[in-house]
Every structure is written in structure tokens, then in C-alpha cells.
């Protein structure tokens, strides 16, 4: 019977290195587990941030995506101008 490995991934960089290779050329920069950029006109328009989480010894992972929604930004700017930034 083959040995069973509970966690095939042992280092966070095993996950982040290939993600970084894909996202850095698209204008993202990385700080920790967050890849951030200003929205642009490319393959991922209006995607401003991707946050990756790894929990329970790499047995659970999740990704949050921050997307700019122009109509919502305009509505918020009318309500609270100082809380929004122009694109």
C-alpha cells in the first residue's frame, strides 16, 4: 500500500509562485497573499485585487476577488464623494 500524504503542499510559495507568474505580467503586484493593481483595459478589466487564503495546513484554500463596478462607484460618489476615487 502506498504511503499517504496528508499535505502535498508544504510551503505557501509552492502555491504563490505559479500564481505570481500568471498575474505579474498583467500588472498585479504582490504583498503577502494579496495581488493588487489598478483596473485596466485588458483580459481582466476592472479586477483590482485577488486575495488567496490557505488554512488548516493547506487543506483548505479560498480566493476573494475585488472588482470595480462603475455604476456602483458613481452612485457611491453621489452619496459620499470623499469615499471614492476616480478611475
Does 39 reside within a domain?
yes
Quote the number of domains for the chain: 1
**Domain limits at 64?**
12-83
Q: Is 40 helix (H, G, I), strand (E, B) or coil?
A: coil
Regarding predicted confidence, which is higher, 43 or 69?
69
Does 2 reside within a domain?
no
Does 29 reside within a domain?
yes
pLDDT over 70 at 9, yes or no: no
Residue 39 confidence (pLDDT) = 62
Does 5 reside within a domain?
no
Does 3 reside within a domain?
no
pLDDT in tens, 13-67: 777 888 889 888 888 899 888 888 876 666 666 788 888 887 766 667 778 888 8
> DSSP secondary-structure letter at 46?
T
Does 71 reside within a domain?
yes
**Does pTM surpass 0.75?**
no
Does 74 reside within a domain?
yes
Amino acid at each position: 500500500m502506498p504511503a499517504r500524504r496528508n499535505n502535498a503542499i508544504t510551503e505557501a510559495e509552492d502555491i504563490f509562485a505559479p500564481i505570481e507568474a500568471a498575474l505579474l505580467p498583467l500588472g498585479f503586484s504582490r504583498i503577502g497573499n494579496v495581488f493588487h493593481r489598478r483596473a485596466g483595459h485588458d483580459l481582466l478589466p476592472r479586477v483590482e485585487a485577488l486575495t488567496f487564503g490557505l488554512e488548516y495546513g493547506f487543506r483548505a484554500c479560498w480566493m476573494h476577488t475585488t472588482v470595480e463596478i462603475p455604476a456602483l462607484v458613481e452612485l457611491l460618489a453621489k452619496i459620499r464623494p470623499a469615499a471614492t476615487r476616480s478611475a
